[in-house]
Structure 1
Amino acid sequence: MGKLTTHVLDTANGRPGAGIKIELFALSGDTRRAIKTTTTNHDGRCDAPLLEGDALVTGEYELVFHAGDYFASTGTKAPEPRFVDRVVLRFGVADAGAHWHVPLLVSPWSWSTYRGS
């Protein structure tokens, strides 16, 4: 059974990114359809997969992480406008039966991702 998961690591402060709003969209050409909005838990993870089973289909997706709001809530000093605010990750799911893990490593100045396990 396939599933889509994520987690966030705050690399500036060396801890999980807790309380970060995440939006998930399905993409089809120029169409962007909202699927889910959630918030990371104390461990920087979501309490349940973003998608799983029949809900996960082959195609293109977008995750939007509200990182700037998170850093503001922690008291981290950043200029206005924020250098890193909303992190938008577009990715493809080629095998709907696989586990797709899309982690985010983020600071007020940079971010990166990779295909996790």
Structure 2
Amino acid sequence: MDFLVPEACSADFSQCTKEEAISRMVDSLVEVGAIPAEVGEDAAELVLKREQVGTTGIGRGFAVPHAKHPDLKRVVGCIARSSHGIDFDSLDGEPVHLLILLLSPADQFDAHMRALERTSTWLLGQPLP
């Protein structure tokens, strides 16, 4: 989980939408210098486009929104928590309380998949099927 940027992690998100949560998480990576400012807006849009393909709300209160961006040099991520819960259209229909955002270089498919696998194993105790 060395891709996580602790300075960008958020203790709690008050009531917000999935879109707002994703935007705030990307903004936090920009604010701490983990990703360039010019990448931030594009990255948030790419994550939201990925959500349109299928939810990243994997169940049990967890979501792993993610995307790949051509201007990134390494995988980065951050964690956010929502005590209230966020509607993420999760697979189990339950609200999300813990989000882990992953952004990866577009040309590093293997690194992206390893980060997703590590994240799901950490959250669920096993990789996603």
**Considering only CA atoms, is the larger Rg found in Structure 1 or Structure 2?**
1
Instruction: Report which of the two has the higher share of helix.
Output: 2
TM-score (norm 1): 0.33
Instruction: Report which of the two has the higher share of strand.
Output: 1
Which one scores higher on RCO, CA 8 angstroms, separation ≥ 6? 1
